[in-house]
Structures are given as C-alpha cells and as structure tokens.
Amino acid sequence: MADHLASIYGTEKDKVNCSFYFKIGACRHGDRCSRKHVKPTFSPTVLMPNLYRNPARASESTRVSRHEVQDDFDAFYEDLFTEIALKYGEIEEMNVCDNDSDHLAGNVYVLFHKESDAERAVEHLNQRYYRGQPIHAELSPVSDFREAYCRLYEMGECTHGGFCNFMHFIHPSSSLRRSLFDSQDAYRRRLRRERRAHREKDYSRQRRDRSPHSDVDSRDAGTPRSDA
C-alpha cells in the first residue's frame, strides 16, 4: 500500500497532488488548481518565476533579431550566474524557460549543489531587485530536469509552440556556458585550498600552544637568570 502510494505520488495517476507542479514547478492553473501544489520545505532548487524578459516578446512594434535576443540572454545569464555562484554557492544547473504561457515565461531554475545554499538564496533573493523589478524566489520541487523539459522542442519538433506545458529552454551560447562553469570550478577549488591552508595554520598554532616545550619556554622566561 505505502509503496503503491509512493509510486504514484506526483504522477498523472495521483488525484491529490498536481503532477505538473511536482515535475515542472509550475502549473497553468496556479492557486486555482484542483490538485495540491505541495511546496517543499527543503530542496536544492530555487525558482524565480518570470524573471527573464525576452526582448522579442516584450516589444511588438520593433523587430528584434535572433542575434540580439542571444546577446541579451547571454548578458542576463552571465550576470545572474556570477552573482548567485559568488553569493550563495555552487550551481549544478541553471535553466531558463522561453515558453509563452504566463506560468512558465522567463522562469529561472537554479539547482544548487547544497540544499542549505538554496535556502539562503531564497531568503536573500526575495529582498532583491532585477532591472527595477522585485525578485520573487521560492524553493521548487523540481530536481530532475529530464522529467521537465520538452524533448521535442530541443529537436525543433514541438508542435505546441510557446504554450507547451513542458519547459522550452533558452540556452546561453555554449562558449559562455562552458566558461561560467569552468570559472566556478576554479573559484571553488581556490576557496577549498584557502580553507585548508587556514585550517592547517590553526591546527599547527594549537599544537604549538599545547606542546610541552611551550611550558618550559614560559617557565624559563619567568625564571630570573642566575647571572643577572
């Protein structure tokens, strides 16, 4: 019984919990959904809904080329990635949706290496602004994007367009992506090295303070020299 319940939790067969919220972190019915959206208390993933505004969608009057959209998105991705990786912790994945529907458009999902970093990020990000708009951040149940993104869209074959219920990712240029993750790795390695060096210094200071020689030294220092 318990096994059966666990196996249907968050799937389409689950009549209580919303499978879309569980898999995608967002559902088109929002708060009016007839099934439950169970917000996680712990999760390595942070969702910032509607944070990226695709300039091609924002202005109907002026035409924005694909090239301009890519430049705009790369700048957005680099900005956000750098700030989050420096302030809150190691990022495993950062995915942005380019769907047209309100509940997915511009959603940013950041999967952290540690749950505690995600928790801290939610606290801080909710007090921040991006391009003049207050940021909303929440923990998201999504931790496996393979269940959430649209495979057909990645192959250029999705027939649902911008209103598809699965995530349509907008990708940063591959060279930018690589350099961001590489520099994050280098930064983390350096942090670890510095922490280790710091710990070793502390440890050798403690050993010096506790060593029997230090007692002898201090006694010696307090003893008046006979030839004084």
Q: Please give the Cα distance from 126 to 15 (Å, whole number).
A: 32
The reply on whether position 84 binds Zn ion by CB under 5 A is no
Rank residues 127 and 159 by Cβ distance to Zn ion and give the closer one.
159
Instruction: Say whether residue 16 binds Zn ion (CB under 5 A).
Output: no
Could you tell me the two tokens for 128? 């921040």
Interface map 152-191 toward Zn ion (x if CB under 5 A):
-x----x-x---x---------------------------
Is 150 among the residues that bind Zn ion (CB under 5 A)? Answer: yes
C-alpha to C-alpha distance for 102 and 206, rounded to whole angstroms: 58
Closest separation in Å from C-beta 35 to Zn ion: 5
**Dist. CA 82–CA 89, nearest whole Å:** 10
Out of 5, 16, 33, 75, the only residue in the binding site for Zn ion (CB under 5 A) is 33
Size of the site for Zn ion (CB under 5 A): 10
Min. distance of Cβ 64 from Zn ion in angstroms?
22
Separation between Cα atoms, residue 133 and residue 72, nearest integer Å = 17
Asked if 26 and 47 count as a contact pair (C-beta separation under 8 A), the reply is: yes
Residue 31 has phi, psi (to 5 degrees) of -70, -15
* Closer residue to Zn ion (CB): 55 or 162: 162
User: What is the DSSP secondary structure assignment for residue 25, as one 8-state letter?
Assistant: S
Interface ranges with Zn ion (CB under 5 A): 18, 21, 27, 29, 33, 150, 153, 158, 160, 164
